[in-house]
Each structure stands twice: as structure tokens, then as C-alpha cells.
Amino acid sequence: MSNPGDLSALAALIAEGSVDPAHVVAVIGKTEGNGGVNDFTCGYFTLALMTLLGRALGLAPEECARRIPCVLSGGTEGVLSPHYLVFCREPAGLAGDEGGVGDGKALAIGVAFSPVTPAQVVGRAGHVLMVAGAVRAAMADAGIDDPADVHFVQVKAPCVTTARAEAAVRAGHSVVTADANKSMAFARAAGAFGVALALGELDEAGLDERDLLSDFSIQSDRASISSGVEVDCNEVIVLGNSRAWSGDLRVAHRPMADALDLPAVRDVLADLGIAADPQVVGGDVGRIAGVLVKCEPDRRGLIRGNRHTMLDDTDINAQRHVRGALGGLVAGVMGDTRIFVSGGAEHQGPDGGGVITVIARGKGELA
């Protein structure tokens, strides 16, 4: 990608027949904006992507956007390189007769869309349940029964805008907050709770919406949630390993205890049979197909006892700071700068830390 509107690499793969546009089920990418409210690189990329796929599929760009979830994170701070992952599902993929790697499991992908989430439901228990339902549907779509086989759940959740809030209030409802930014945090929290519920990390009986953004001991190690004004329902992408799928790709994940959790990076690679001593080398670099990190500046202002300055910086947004630091750390282990790092990790992995997920081609034994 030479810029956020540059889809020439995908266009070339389609032109040469390597990618069949009808098989594209989801796209996850990093663009070089600021990752904030005024980051328009995501919209630019999406317009260019959906125009490209729409032309190939004979669909209007808007129709494409309703069928193919596209999750983007703005901000390639530090060494990070703009890039995108295109998830394709070939028909043979569900036949399962070729077998996967080692234990016979291979990367499985499922997507689902929840019903529309009204403004008065955003960031509340009803939102949690809607996300949980969509996660279960995406698991079914992926052919995964056992929640233990799920390693990554990306949710793009709607938020409350000023206009939506006013409409809801006029209709006699209340909203959790009328502030767009705060509602995004609540929506991310509801998304994480929904994932935890669907994966059995949280018991439905124990669900209390007052815990959202409050009890940070409740979390899912496999949730990666974003929230934005551009969606009105919850878009869900589930990645896991399944015997019903074939191919040589596998996925693994590890929680990160804090922003310095280098051992978690090493361990998630070990789960996939890849050594990092301390860095991935040689042919193993090429085995790594995707690295997805979710993280956050510690809200208590300290990392292992020492003050960090991310939260008090008026010049650089805190999420930009933390993406740059985690990007540097993870890229150093991978020996590659094409790392997806996203902030806003409330209830996604340990408080003050986050989650790392890696997709890799299989080779030899798995841990």
C-alpha cells in the first residue's frame, strides 16, 4: 500500500487469478491515519476496496460493504507498516477431507451480523446479548463447536451519535451516554462482554451491565473490539482452528499482562511451532500470515511501577503512543513490521495489557 486508497496489490492478485473476489469473506487492515475521530483513511480505504470488489462482483460498493466485514485500525506509529489481510474461503475449505496441521485442525473463518442495535441498547446488557448471539452465529458459520477452538473474535459495534441519541430520547428512551467517544468505549466493553459470554468466559447469570468499564477483571482473551459510527449492527469475524477445514494455516492467541509482555509474544509463536530466539528468522518469517495485537495505555499511569506519560500528552493521543510501543516490541520479535496493533482494549485481555493473536502456516510439530 503506497497510500490508504492503494488497492493495487489486491487488484493484481485478482487479475492474475490468485484471489477469486467471490471468496473474500472479510478484510482486516491498518491504515496510516491517526486512529482518532478524524481519521478518514479508513473511509478512503473502504471506498476504494468496495469499488474494486464491487466492480469484480458486479455489485454496487454499498452492497459489497454490507456483505463483507472490513475492519480497519488507523495509525501506523513507529515501525508499523500499512497493510491489510484479505480472508478468503474457498469452497473446498469446508470439505475438510484434506486435513489440517498436526492435530488435523486448520484455520476456520466465520462471519455474522447481529440485528440492528438501537441507540438505547448500545453499551447495555441487551447489546452484550446481541453480540453473544452474533458470535455464536459466526462460530456456526465457521463450523466451530467448541469455544476452546476459537482464538480471535473481531467485533465492529455501533455507537451512539448525537443524532441517534436525540432520536432515541424523543422516542422516550434513555441512552447510556450521549457522548460519542464515551459510547464507543461502552460499545467496546459490551462487545468484549458479548464475546466472553459466547465463549463461556462469562456466565450469563453473572452478567451485570454495571460492570461495563467498571470491573476490569471481567475480560475475554480472544476479543478484539472496535466501535464506529459507520455501522448500525454488530459485525463479527471469528477465527479458530477446526477439523472441518483444510489448508496449512493455524491461529493461536495469548493474553498480554502489560505493555512489556514479551514472553506472551514468544509463547504465542511457540503455540504455532515457531521459535523466536529472540527473533523469528529465516523461512519462519514467511510462515507468519498475520499478527493482531490489542492493547491499551495503563489507565493507572504506571508500567511496572514507573510513570508513563501517554495519558497526559496533549500533543500525541495516548492510543498512538501505545500502538507505537507495542508495534516496536512485536515487530522486533517477528522480524516484520506488518503488525496489526489496535488500541481501545477495555475488557479485552488483562487490564493494562491486551491480547496477541498470530496466524501462521503450519510446518513440523505444534506445541
Write out the residues near a copy of itself by the rule CB under 8 A: 1-5, 32-41, 43-44, 47-48, 51, 76-83, 259-263, 265-266, 276, 278-279, 303-304, 306-310, 312-317, 320-322, 324-329, 331-333, 335-338
Selection from 26, 254, 240 nearest residue 136 by Cα: 240
**Cβ proximity to a copy of itself, 91 vs 307, nearer residue:** 307
d(CA 186, CA 346): 9
Sign, CA dihedral 271-277-280-284, equals: negative
- 30, 105, 156, 294: which one is catalytic? 156
- 224, 226, 242, 246: which one is catalytic? 226
Binding residues for substrate, by number, are: 73-74, 188, 226-227, 323, 342-343
Judged by DSSP in three states, 194 sits in: helix
> Min. distance of Cβ 331 from a copy of itself in angstroms?
6
**Cβ proximity to a copy of itself, 3 vs 174, nearer residue:** 3
Query: Does 226 participate in catalysis according to the annotation?
Result: yes
Binding residues for Mg(2+), by number, are: 296, 345, 348-350, 353
What DSSP string describes 152-173? EEEEEEE---HHHHHHHHHTT-
> Min. distance of Cβ 280 from a copy of itself in angstroms?
10
Backbone angles phi, psi at 338, to 5 degrees: -85, 75
> Min. distance of Cβ 92 from a copy of itself in angstroms?
31
In sequence order, which residues have a C-beta less than 8 Å from that of residue 94 and are 6 or more positions away?
A: 143, 244, 245
CA angle (143 as vertex; 104, 345 as ends), nearest 5: 95
Binding residues, by number, are: 73-74, 188, 226-227, 296, 323, 342-343, 345, 348-350, 353
Give the number of other CB atoms < 10 A from CB of residue 271. Answer: 18
d(CA 42, CA 227): 13
> Min. distance of Cβ 13 from a copy of itself in angstroms?
17
**Cβ proximity to a copy of itself, 86 vs 131, nearer residue:** 86
Active-site residues, by number, are 156, 226
